[in-house]
Structure 1
Amino acid sequence: MLHSFRPAPEFRFNGGERGTAIRDDEEGSIAPDPTSTLWAHQAGVNALALERFDGRILVSGGLDASIKIWDLEQCGNPSKAHTYAPIAKISRSDQTHKFGITHLSFYPFDSAAFLSTSYDQTLKVWATERAAASASFNLGFKAYTHAISPIASHLLVACGTQHPAVRLVDLRSGSNVQVLASHSGAILATAWSPRHEHVLATGSVNGTVKVWDIRRAGGVVGMLDHEDSLGLYYNGLIDANGKPRSRASARAHTAPVNGLTWTDDGAYIISAGHDRRIRVWDAATGKNTLASFGPSIRNSQLASVTMFTSPVGLTHPGKELLFWPNETEILVLDLHDGHVVTKLRGTGPTVAGVRSTSGAQRTIKNRIASIVWRGAGGGGSSSGVVMGGSNMPGAIFSAHLDGQIRTWLPRLEGEEDEDEDESLDEASKERAKKRKALDDVFNDLMGKKITFT
């Protein structure tokens, strides 16, 4: 069922703003669409975060600096269409954020708090229930992203900004405790290891990805090199004491790196860059596994990109999937050989905009700004019940610059409206053809109407 997500347009998110949608029509011209008058954030949704305990509270951040909190259990009958309303709104002000939200995340051990960064150069901590700021940190530079370890007790937040040094903010002491200075350009991506609490990966606009041990004085323990398919142990980068030596120079990508994540078991690091490449790295040795994702990858935004791998337990080892926001579609990719498993389309118009009630009009290139995973019963568990009242592996929520939050749910295998994607690999098309042939044989033998007596 991980291979069979589809749009679920019956679930809408209404942030309460009014106006008329504008979109490109079949001839490519821009025209009003009076049927669409609901937005999560009319100015565009730029960030999402979902708490991992119950999978119930969703937080969204807009380009207008607003933050909204949604209760996904608000729907009384999840088998029917529902329009969600926010349970709390945080509007733009001098006490909140002044410019667009760039990244959101929940406190790792409790859904009672979440964090946000903004173009206004601040990192803020919020009390979820009160929808009020608990702490604010001035980073001094435009903030692109932040990350907090899912396992560590040190409560350090790694912030990526326009400055080439990674800023570590200690939530306990309320101070900037450390600066990791080694990059030579802005930091667009940060990600903590889910296995080792002191290990951090960072990506820069100069194409470098560095791995840090924050306990070490020097900090950097390795750099990822796209030309290295062997790893530290086979390139003479292990010293006499068995410790890895850092490369003097290496580039993971030939263009800015704006996406980083780890597999849930910490075995692999996944990086993405403006060179339209996604690379998978062995976290233990730093070698490039040479997974090839083909020419269909699109990545042009000068901002952090959120992607995730299928949670542990939902696939066999070595069969993990990568969910990638490919500008205007979501690609479900085989993590290790790179082939496209599914393309999730129906993400709205290519060009979209809003004509507000005041008469102001704007049009933008619509793209997916963020995606989050809702595991069955919350978190990454493979058991439980989620939206729709039946056992399923999870749901996906995506943030779009046309102001919408869209929902994706698994579909039952063999649904009649299932479309074959011509761009899928030959193996996928062959499986679809065989399934269709078996369905035809079954229908011929059994007929459309079956009566049991």
Structure 2
Amino acid sequence: MLGFLTARQSGLDDPLRLRRAESTRRVLSLKLNPDRDVDRIHGNGINTIDIEAVEGRYMLSGGSDGVIVIYDLENYNGKPQYTCRAVCTVGSSFDKTMKVWDTETLKPAEVFEFEGNVYSHHLSPIARKHSLIAVGTKNPKIQLCDLKSGSRIHVLQGHRAEVLSVQWSPRYEHILATASADSKVKVWDVRRASGSLFTLDQHNGDKSKASSEAVNTAHNGRVNGLCFTGDGLYLLTTGTDDRMRLWNSATGENTLVNYGKVCNESRKRLQFTVSRGCSPEFVFVPCGSSVAVYTLHTGELVTMLRGHYNSVDCCEFHPDYQELYSGGKDCNILAWVPVLHTLDVEEESNKGAAGQSSVNPAFQDAWSSDED
């Protein structure tokens, strides 16, 4: 780290390299923070967590108890020990509707009704030419709801079972990925009227490895998790076959990265996340009562974050501080925070002189300014 600081100070290196190296170090030192609590509001398991992207100050959680909670993550007392307080709670329910809430009045501004239970919905984080919300329900048809008109304007047909997860690309505003209980993952361009762009195939078209019934399946079981990488170049999927796969989002090719067994017993949507600003990037996946941390492109299991008393169903990465929040059936939201420490100057100097390092290889920054 001192080498990065010296190079930056002397103008010999790009400041972004220091930022990426420090972000990587912080992710690799994530520990359960005993000084930071999150108000325990939910009376049942926590299904989803999200952090608002503008200030990174507020966190939302949704639970099986039909309650949505908004938390303030800011520390106001200036002490290491503090609690992320619940700002407000909103009553919701599993009532076959999707509601758009006015954050000023905390009242529904729009209500969309569906024939089946709603399992997943997502609004594009980058869209400028549309304001579509993709909705996955018990019905195999994906619904596109327009915030401007307040109506359902389009239906995407192709799946044969309930749609468990939907995700817009963070790179192209018209690209949508959907995962279903029919073992398939489809990628759509919502501007096209003629079906999906492609269906992910775990065997990359090798018919000798797939039975006739399993052609173009992403997993050998329900696919209940989707997550794009921050740059949108790759797509991760998880399934009840205890596998996680990494795909090229442009071609649909299975990159064949082996993550080993990724325990997945959930029959509903599983929320997992990818780090941002690190080199290499890391994947955080609920795995039983723990959160497994993998290196994205090698599949190496880096560590297991243990602290929950029951199954973990969701986790969310905070890119501003390289922190992680996880929620589970124990009704708790846990904060995983980097352990800050000072590197020994003499040890750092010796590493530079020897040209070797005994630290985790992920500390060795792999980014260069030539990359896109």
TM-score, with length taken from structure 1: 0.66
Contact 2:293 2:301 in 1 (8 A): yes
Equivalent position SS for 1:84:
strand
CA distance in 1, matches of 2:322, 2:219: 32
Q: Please list, as runs of the form range in 1=range in 2, the aligned pairs for 1:116-265 lying within 5 A after superposition.
A: 119-153=94-128, 154-228=130-204, 249-265=215-231
Contact 2:205 2:216 in 1 (8 A): no
Contact 1:57 1:70 in 2 (8 A): yes
Q: Which amino acid aligns with 1:152?
A: A
Contact 2:275 2:319 in 1 (8 A): no
CA distance in 1, matches of 2:319, 2:77: 20
CA distance in 1, matches of 2:287, 2:62: 20
CA shift, 1:413, in A, is 5.5
Contact 2:61 2:68 in 1 (8 A): yes
2:330 is aligned with 1:396: no
2:290 is aligned with 1:329: yes
Report the aligned-residue RMSD.
Answer: 2.0
Q: Which has the larger radius of gyration?
A: 1
Q: Which amino acid aligns with 1:395?
A: E
Equivalent position SS for 1:304:
coil
**Aligned residue in 2 for 1:2:** 27
Contact 1:185 1:204 in 2 (8 A): yes
**Aligned residue in 1 for 2:11:** none
Output one character per residue of 1:341-399: Cα deviation in whole Å (capped at 9) or x when no partner. 1211122x2xxxxxxxxxxxxxxxx21121112222xxxxxxxxxxxxxxxx4211111
CA distance in 1, matches of 2:306, 2:341: 18
Decide which of 300, 323, 331 is 1:339's aligned counterpart: 300
CA shift, 1:229, in A, is 7.5
Contact 1:371 1:398 in 2 (8 A): yes
Q: How many residues align?
A: 313
Structure with greater proportional helix content? 2
CA distance in 2, matches of 1:283, 1:60: 28
Q: Which amino acid aligns with 1:6?
A: K
Q: Please list, as runs of the form range in 1=range in 2, the aligned pairs for 1:269-280 lying within 5 A after superposition.
A: 269-280=235-246
**Aligned residue in 1 for 2:255:** 289
CA distance in 1, matches of 2:45, 2:35: 20
Contact 1:88 1:131 in 2 (8 A): no
Structure 2 regions of 5+ residues with no counterpart? 1-25, 207-213, 344-357, 361-372
Equivalent position SS for 1:333:
strand
Decide which of 314, 317, 320 is 1:373's aligned counterpart: 317
Q: Which amino acid aligns with 1:288?
A: N
TM-score, with length taken from structure 2: 0.80
Contact 2:291 2:305 in 1 (8 A): yes
Decide which of 244, 247, 272 is 1:307's aligned counterpart: 272
Contact 1:4 1:413 in 2 (8 A): no
Equivalent position SS for 1:135:
strand
Equivalent position SS for 1:2:
helix
Identity of aligned residues (%): 36
Q: Which amino acid aligns with 2:272?
A: M
Structure 1 regions of 5+ residues with no counterpart? 15-38, 92-96, 100-118, 231-247, 350-365, 377-392, 416-429, 433-453
CA distance in 1, matches of 2:141, 2:268: 17
